[in-house]
Structure 1
């Protein structure tokens, strides 16, 4: 079929809501014959009958129900757009589409986004998580305004195309269930030898740094699980399945929320975070707030 005629779709939508051409024609200020002809043209364009007649009332066919479901969404959005455009520019909601690398802890992600959410205007946040590579592709397509990641882009093709804004960094701490944490604090880090380790399966850069630090410290831990969800890995740790790593900046929230305890911070290992945008000069008010936000406690 050719491109959909939105005027015809609107006429169909009004008819479907009113239940008859006569009532819809009054609402649209059109002659019933004209509206009936427009409906016939639309049915021909979509390739099927949209209504059947039952006792002087038009009833949607299966195809009509499908088209109506899309029309409901389309005209709900146009109504929302009309209301928004009637507002003064300063009163209009600010849309912020942010991508967050899956390897970033959710508590950290919230803290990074918070400056944008505290602006003196309403913010409509569209937050997506995923692999940094996929999020950067969405940024290139202008589907996202900013990507928050713990991975510094390495290739020149990426760094030439985007602007990288260093945000903040935090040391890494090791956590475990209270009984295990209390036992492992003595003689740290030698106490970690042959202890169970819960690994971050998202290839978080800080985790590779942690593994290098363990090697340098002559410590060999037993890898018992790889988990790609930062919340689930903490639940496993709480249940005593092993030791896990998280940024020191959120240790109080981690301990309170998951009933675990910090074994010790690893000051030689840091987690660096970045905001990536399409341009060095950031025009988006919400992204500017994120880039100039704050420094996490270390």
Structure 2
């Protein structure tokens, strides 16, 4: 970079695109002689010819084609940046990087991010799933703008992060119509020793559910532990067992996975939080996500902690 003159590189790029020093000079409002001299300076700096003459026209050498490929990437990016900078600030695209705890059901994650995507400004959304602790670390390092999770940060992190409770839903149990026909009569005692699909991730609502099973003296027959909430539902659709999901997405779960709700458990709830850095980033997409109520159902609660 100490020796590469980007202005000279831009002149070369314009010549290569137009195929003529004269035409490029007209576009750049320079004389052909000046432009030819700048090209010669660039070739001398790079130590190799960029063009060869053939039938009174300029053609790129093999080396010139390599340089042009890089120059094209550079100046296409510059043009894109220029287009953005020329837009009014309120119309420029927003970048939103969201961390989503793997234990959160993906249908709910979509609803929680939906308000940011409804902004009049374009939003470039990047979602990353993972374990809450690792995602929280990335949030602190500014690799994420916001974290959606089912647990609050530890007290030791209270000064660094702010948690907003977004939603809370009771838990329902689902199964195929065939299995549901067996389990619905006599619910919940009918669940005793029946095949159960559970998440292998330490989700708070699963711990509550297990305690509820114990209180109801229901013996659990876990036939599969899966670390992906969507995959659990796929297994459930195949009749391998019943599974749990938030009541708030009951209709979508039944429609998408062709299962039925066999019962709801009000005593067990999933509570979801949005975690941001304590100092506001000023990102309008983050603000929209925090303030707009998710369009789920009337059982959803929303309060700030």
Q: Tell me if both proteins adopt one fold, taking TM over 0.5 as the criterion.
A: yes
Distance, in Å, in 2 between the alignment partners of 1:203 and 1:254 is: 22
Gap change, CA 1:242 and 1:10, over 3 Å in 2: farther
- The alignment status of 1:175 with 2:174, answered yes or no, reads yes
Q: Partner of 1:116 in structure 2?
A: 116
CA deviation vs aligned residue, 1:45-103 (integer Å, no higher than 9, x gap): xxxx6958585521444x954x6555444433322221222222233233322222222
RMSD, aligned α-carbons: 2.9
- Note the C-alpha offset of 1:233: 1.6
Distance, in Å, in 1 between the alignment partners of 2:164 and 2:137 is: 18
- Note the C-alpha offset of 1:248: 0.7
Gaps of 5+ in 2: 300-305
Q: Partner of 1:38 in structure 2?
A: 42
Distance, in Å, in 2 between the alignment partners of 1:9 and 1:202 is: 53
Gap change, CA 1:68 and 1:107, over 3 Å in 2: farther
Distance, in Å, in 1 between the alignment partners of 2:187 and 2:237 is: 20
Gap change, CA 1:17 and 1:205, over 3 Å in 2: farther
Q: Partner of 2:251 in structure 1?
A: 252
Distance, in Å, in 2 between the alignment partners of 1:265 and 1:4 is: 68
Counterpart mapping for 1:234-253 below 5 A: 234-253=233-252
Gap change, CA 1:196 and 1:17, over 3 Å in 2: farther
Gaps of 5+ in 1: none
Q: Partner of 1:187 in structure 2?
A: 186
Distance, in Å, in 1 between the alignment partners of 2:285 and 2:292 is: 10
Aligned residues: 289
**If the length of structure 1 is used for normalisation, what is the TM-score?**
0.83
- Note the C-alpha offset of 1:191: 1.4
**If the length of structure 2 is used for normalisation, what is the TM-score?**
0.81
Larger radius of gyration: 2
Counterpart mapping for 1:107-256 below 5 A: 107-119=107-119, 121-131=120-130, 132-156=132-156, 158-256=157-255
Q: Partner of 1:273 in structure 2?
A: 272
Q: Partner of 1:57 in structure 2?
A: 59
